[in-house]
Amino acid sequence: MVNVMSTPPYALNGRRKKWLLVQPKSDTPLRVDSASISIPLNLLMVATAAQKHFDIDLIDERVGDKVPTDLSAYDVVAITSRTLNAKKTYAIGDHALAQGKRVILGGVHPALVIDEALQHATSIVVGEIESIWDELVEDVKQDALKRVYRSNGFKSMNDMEHPDFTIMTRRKRSRPYNTRIPILATKGCPIGCNFCCAPKIYGKVYRTRDVDHVLDEIRYHQDRLGRPGVNFSFMDDNICFRPAFAEALFNAMIGMGVKWNSNISMNFLEKPHIPQLAKEAGCELLSVGFESVSPETIKLVGKGSNRVARYGTVVENTHKEGLALQGYFIFGFDTDTPEGFQATYDFIMENCIDFPVFTIATPFPGTDWYEEVKHRLVHSDWDKYDTIHYMYKPAKMDRDEFLKSFIKIQREVYSWKAIHKRLGYRKFDWVWGVNIAMHFFSRRLTPEVLL
């Protein structure tokens, strides 16, 4: 731990203070953090606010940027962190504190484990930058930072500024981001699954932006890129918790010429008009947390939106519109059994799920579920909290059997034959590309790599 209070105060010398904004790269060995890299919207929003008062540099270790050894050009180092890159965040924080810099940490991990994060920072921001920004700016200017900034309630999403993408485009970088532009229409998801951090961050609150604000931001990107056909990725937890809003948004997007994908809670796909409208609005892929084909597991995790008996209808309604489905499946809950792997395989193959994603149940610190199972966890190494490392022994399976089955299902679902069977209905496109990448990824999995 670095003594954060013993560093000398800054002299302003009439110049604007300078911030280094950092998106750290995890040391997880599984490329979760470095395969297809998306523009970090959260850090970009911090940068958009910061540049009004301070000079800024933004670096992203995932695309090959390096944190300078000598930080003398900077006054403040501001880092965004999830659990999987918390160790790296702390190392950068310690490095900056040792050079007398002010270190501000934000993002989901520091917000949920404040005491731990404070050991590597001057200040922690709990919640959205927008909510505490005015106070933070003043305190940075006066060099009078508080230890914790906590937002009091949630600001209207209509007060959110458009993120300034020139911050990203004027950077030199060694590797490209994926081509999907991150955008937000809503925040929060009141469903409240026990393994998810979203309800811990945003509570049971669901906020939406006025449709016009979202359209303005879409047009901003179309103008900036000089073409209507822009690909967007909604960063929303659940774009359709309030169907009337989603319907208004999708209706307004019809004819704009954009393509997009988003997370959506499956119960809304039970109604055929939602995927139909989404398709008309330019949707290409919807990400759905099926999580499990076992009703016991769905009950255990508290995912009230999922009715296993309706999974088939959800897939049918989505595929009827030609939309691809990214289906998330989690293994390793105490109700899971060895037979569950076969049942999941059968479901995926029978319903031709386009892009299945398999993860291992991971109790993230700060969730109630973490408190329940923390005595059983085999890792306290945050690098391994990437949802594909073995975390604890599920009650009904032993470790080796579990890992073998977890690898087997991925190899089977991503065998060439299975890819052809699942995707045979669609022309060769980027969904095929992702499946081909997953084929090679699944071949590299071994029990050792997941431990």
Contacting residues toward ligand B12, per CB under 6 A? 32-33, 38, 40-43, 45-46, 78-80, 82-84, 104, 106-109, 125, 128-130, 184, 196-198, 201, 235, 237, 359, 364, 386-387
Binding partner of residue 289 among ligand SF4, ligand B12, none, CB cut-off 5 to 8 Å per kind: ligand SF4
Q: How far apart are CA 96 and CA 118, in angstroms?
A: 14
Pick 21 or 403: Cβ nearer ligand B12: 21
Where is 47: in which H helix or E strand? helix 41-50
CA dihedral 93, 98, 104, 110 (to 10 degrees): 40
Residue nearest to ligand B12 (CB): 106
292 binds, among ligand B12, ligand SF4, none (CB under 5 to 8 A by kind): none
CA–CA separation, 398 and 390 (whole Å): 11
Pairing assessment for the beta strands 181-183 and 186-187 based on DSSP bridges: unpaired
CB 169 to ligand B12: min, Å: 17
Tell me which of 129, 189, 230, 325 binds ligand SF4, using CB under 6 A: 189
- C-beta separation of 159 from 130 below 8 A: yes
Report the site for ligand SF4 in 277-296 (rule: CB under 6 A): 289
- Which pair of structure tokens corresponds to residue 217? 């931001």
For residue 85 the two structure tokens come to 């890159």
Stretch that binds ligand SF4, among 38-46, 74-82, 191-199, 310-318 (CB under 6 A): 191-199
Segment interacting with ligand SF4, rule: CB under 6 A, options 94-102, 131-139, 170-178, 193-201: 193-201
**Residues counted in the chain:** 451
Give yes or no for a contact between 374 and 19, defined as CB atoms under 8 angstroms apart: no
Eight-state DSSP code of residue 258: -
442 binds ligand SF4 (CB under 6 A): no
Residue 58 β-bridge partners: 21
Q: Say whether residue 199 binds ligand SF4 (CB under 6 A).
A: yes
Is residue 193 near ligand SF4 by the rule CB under 6 A?
yes
- Is residue 192 within the footprint of ligand SF4 (CB under 6 A)? yes
Question: CB-based burial of residue 226 (10 Å sphere; 0-12 exposed, 13-18 middle, 19+ buried)?
Answer: exposed
Q: Which of 103, 163, 102 is nearest to 130 (CA)?
A: 163
Stretch that binds ligand SF4, among 4-12, 18-26, 129-137, 184-192 (CB under 6 A): 184-192
Say how far apart CA 84 and CA 88 lie, in whole Å: 9
Nearer to ligand SF4, 134 or 368 (CB): 368
Q: Are 303 and 193 spatial neighbours (Cβ–Cβ below 8 Å)?
A: yes
* In the complex, minimum distance from the CB of residue 78 to ligand B12, in angstroms, rounded to a whole number: 4
Q: Which of 121, 196, 246, 391 binds ligand SF4 (CB under 6 A)?
A: 196
Does 217 contact ligand SF4 by CB under 6 A?
no
Residue 366, number of CB atoms within 10 A of its CB: 19
Q: Which does 265 bind (CB under 5 to 8 A by kind): ligand SF4, ligand B12, none?
A: ligand SF4
Of these partners, ligand B12, ligand SF4, none, which one is at the site of residue 40 (CB under 5 to 8 Å by kind)? ligand B12
Written as six digits, the tokens of 387 are 């949802």
* Residues near ligand SF4, by CB under 6 A: 189, 191-193, 196, 198-199, 237-238, 265, 289, 303, 305
